Structure 1
Amino acid sequence: MTGLRGTSSGPGTEPLREAAPALGADGPRPARSARPDGYAVLRAGRGSLLLHRRAALVAAVLAVLLSAAVVASLCVGESFVPPSEVVNVLLGRPSPDELVVGTLRLPRLVTGLLVGAAFGVSGALVQTVARNPLASPDVIGVTHGAGAATVAAMTFGVTSYAVLPYVSVVGGLAAALLVYVLAWRGGLHASRFVLIGIGISVALGSLTRLFVTKGDYLVAQQAKVWLTGSLNGRGYDQAAPLATVLVLLVPFLLWAARAQRTAAFDDDTATALGTRLGRTRLGLTALGVVLASVATGAAGPVDFVALLAPQIARRLTRTTHIPLVCSALTGALIVVVADLSARRLLSPLELPVGVFTALVGAPYLMWLIVSTRSSRSGGTA
């Protein structure tokens, strides 16, 4: 990836280091290639890669924190397991705590990690397309579409955890397609995209409640827990489809990590850089929708993770675009810590993980709305 020489204007652009020739004893030295401030160039043979130094440092710190949260989640429960025994189980060594750690806690933890990472990346992609920090799959109707389809399937007797994730994907895709079509007016306007998504979310929420009231009592109770977002009883059966989707989407996510840098610019700047905005936005949106839908099928609509994770990652890294790796790590960390809190803070009562993410996410959403309105009013004054 190469930088633009000279100066450029427009939101999201970074100052570039000029490739000025240096004078040496034998005359001018060859100029170094220009690169944005704060980036390092990694070279491998003939290829090279721009690496944001602060983003790499933040990713390393998040990985350490996530590792600590993983160990704590496997240690803490109805019975405490020493960290040394947790490590033995993870490394496949004989341990008397194999049943507790390897069979009961680890599958749930793996599901939480994948769900959090998927929601984090999904939120980053949707917010990039909408250019709005308030946009996320749970705000614009994707998770509500997945939830409505899943609850409808439960109402009509489909309760297999092997089938429900695929039903969620269909519902999420259908909701996203509806929002995209209704928001398209010769182009995709960010504000219209978010407002129509909120309207569709409200309508789908009402439809979901209708299915819950019409269903069998036991199915209704199961649907209510699922709609809150829960990792209780989740295991490898739910994690496997999500892991498969994440692996299959790796090449597309590598493309998205590069495409989102130009998609985050205003339309004129992005078009001047040669970006096909319509195709790029459609591709980024489709990736975000698929990830959010599969994650919803695995654990239910765990609200606010897709809203929180990208903005936390962006504020930590101070990048002009939302970093996908840091968003994934942040989302996984939020879900793991929230699930640990849900299991232990009110023990023996175990709450759904979505309750704790909502306790943090709802105040943040209100603060974000107030701060956004304040900044706009200040800019027009």
Structure 2
Amino acid sequence: MKSSNSPIGDTTEFVPGQRVLPGERVDFGRPMLRALGLRIDLRVVVTAGIVTLLALGCGFVGLLLGEFSLTPAEVFQGLFGQADRRIVNTVVGEWRAPRIIAGIVLGAGLGVSGAVFQSLTRNPLGSPDIIGFSTGAYTGGIVTIIVFGSSFISTAFGAIIGGLLTAIVVYLLTWKGGVQGFRLIIVGIALTAMLNAFNTWLIMRADLDLAMAAATWGAGSLNGMGWSTLLPAAIGTILLGLGCGLFSRGLGTLELGDDTAKALGVRNEPVRAGLILVAVALVAVVTAAAGPIAFVALAAPQIGRRIAKAQGTSLLSAAAVGALLLVAADLIAQHALGETQLPVGVVTVCIGGIYLIWLLIQEARKAQ
């Protein structure tokens, strides 16, 4: 053991195979913070903070732009309902602010969900929109819309049930003395294809009005987002995101491999099942509120990991990048084509397609 000076306090340089004495702090090679019994990489915190500020900046631009353009002073006044013109309070407080907040919160939720599944599968393709959980939530939402109508509560309930049932099916089909990441991805992709075919059949068989409602919701959009939809979705997303954070220590240990995690005292399957349950519920809540928004959960964890130069998947970085991606994509969807507004899911698919091609090229280079 060698003592070293650190801005965080006195630390001890970590040497593999040596025992750390009680009261000594381990030097992990990078500044670390301690919060709630967890060690958090200081670089991760700083980069996540910067990315969050960028997301808030994009959100502020979104408050300024639109058919009814506003000045920064009017935006601040409208946020607190203190603008001289009543229309400003309505535009900012009732129309634009819920949409911006939804983009930040729901994007962060997608980022966290994607980080959990990529960490569990130890594969950058292991996101809920690739392995079928988003599609399962979409299927549950469609069935609910056709049977009960398109209210948020019923759609949210159907999306959560659909996502959880899909997770159970994938888990059972993947199980073979344990769950392996590659097998989980293959089974998920196959189930996604079948669910997509079933969803198409459901929409074609439904009445025109219900089919239009399901198709519009299925495009993934923040259009029409109001406080009545945002509040329950935001509360559910935040609570489930915190739930994922509670499992973060076990998640990081599982990245080392099942044998290593078991040797360190982690109950692999209960922890994995709990993480899948919470992460699926998280993506289902987001899907219920805004529809199946693709590729944010795929791209955010990997981008966050590269920005922070972290050794493992960071939920904090993934949340920040997910928020930035969704808010920026919604800004593009609203204003890139002038008066024509696109569903945000169309933009995220385009961005995600480019990212997926780049990711496959990078993985092919590593394999050579």
Q: TM-score, normalised by structure 1?
A: 0.87
Contact 1:127 1:135 in 2 (8 A): yes
Partner of 1:98: 89
Paired amino acid for 1:77: G
Contact 1:342 1:353 in 2 (8 A): yes
Partner of 1:74: 63
TM-aligned CA distance change 1:227 to 1:250, over 3 Å:
closer
Contact 2:100 2:327 in 1 (8 A): yes
| Structure 1 segment 20-59 matched on structure 2, within 5 A | 33-42=25-34, 49-59=38-48
Q: Note the C-alpha offset of 1:93.
A: 3.0
Partner of 1:12: none
1:6 counterpart = 2:15? yes
DSSP 3-state at the match of 1:249:
helix
Aligned-residue sequence identity (percent) comes to 34
Q: Note the C-alpha offset of 1:290.
A: 0.7
Paired amino acid for 1:54: R
Partner of 2:122: 131
Partner of 2:207: 216
Q: Note the C-alpha offset of 1:65.
A: 0.5
Aligned-partner Cα distance in 1 for 2:154–2:83 = 35
Q: How many residues align?
A: 356
Partner of 1:65: 54
TM-aligned CA distance change 1:270 to 1:31, over 3 Å:
closer
Partner of 2:4: none
Partner of 2:194: 203
Q: Structure 1, residues 314-368: CA drift from partner, whole Å, max 9, x if none?
A: 1111112211122111111111111111111112111100010011101211222
1:162 counterpart = 2:160? no
- For residue 241 of structure 1, the aligned residue among 232, 236, 246 is 232
- The range that moved more, 70-79 or 256-265, is 256-265
Q: Structure 1, residues 210-254: CA drift from partner, whole Å, max 9, x if none?
A: 011011122222222211101111222222222222343365233
Aligned-partner Cα distance in 2 for 1:48–1:205 = 43
Q: Note the C-alpha offset of 1:40.
A: 2.6
Contact 1:260 1:321 in 2 (8 A): no
TM-aligned CA distance change 1:249 to 1:31, over 3 Å:
closer
- The range that moved more, 213-222 or 191-200, is 213-222
* Unaligned stretches of 5+ residues in structure 1: 9-15, 21-29
Aligned-partner Cα distance in 1 for 2:345–2:289 = 13
Q: Note the C-alpha offset of 1:5.
A: 4.6
- For residue 288 of structure 1, the aligned residue among 256, 271, 279 is 279
Q: Note the C-alpha offset of 1:282.
A: 1.1
Partner of 1:331: 322
Aligned-partner Cα distance in 1 for 2:357–2:250 = 30
Contact 2:81 2:93 in 1 (8 A): no
TM-aligned CA distance change 1:109 to 1:61, over 3 Å:
same
Aligned-partner Cα distance in 2 for 1:19–1:135 = 35
DSSP 3-state at the match of 2:32:
strand
How large is the Cα RMSD of the aligned pairs? 2.4
1:88 counterpart = 2:77? yes
TM-aligned CA distance change 1:186 to 1:107, over 3 Å:
same
Partner of 1:24: none
TM-aligned CA distance change 1:134 to 1:48, over 3 Å:
closer
DSSP 3-state at the match of 2:131:
coil
Aligned-partner Cα distance in 2 for 1:200–1:31 = 50
- For residue 354 of structure 1, the aligned residue among 345, 356, 359 is 345
Q: Note the C-alpha offset of 1:110.
A: 2.0
Aligned-partner Cα distance in 1 for 2:102–2:23 = 50
1:252 counterpart = 2:232? no
Q: TM-score, normalised by structure 2?
A: 0.90
Q: Note the C-alpha offset of 1:301.
A: 0.4
Q: Structure 1, residues 93-134: CA drift from partner, whole Å, max 9, x if none?
A: 344210111111112222222211111110001111111100
Paired amino acid for 1:33: R
Aligned-partner Cα distance in 2 for 1:31–1:231 = 50
Aligned-partner Cα distance in 2 for 1:155–1:40 = 51
Paired amino acid for 2:200: R
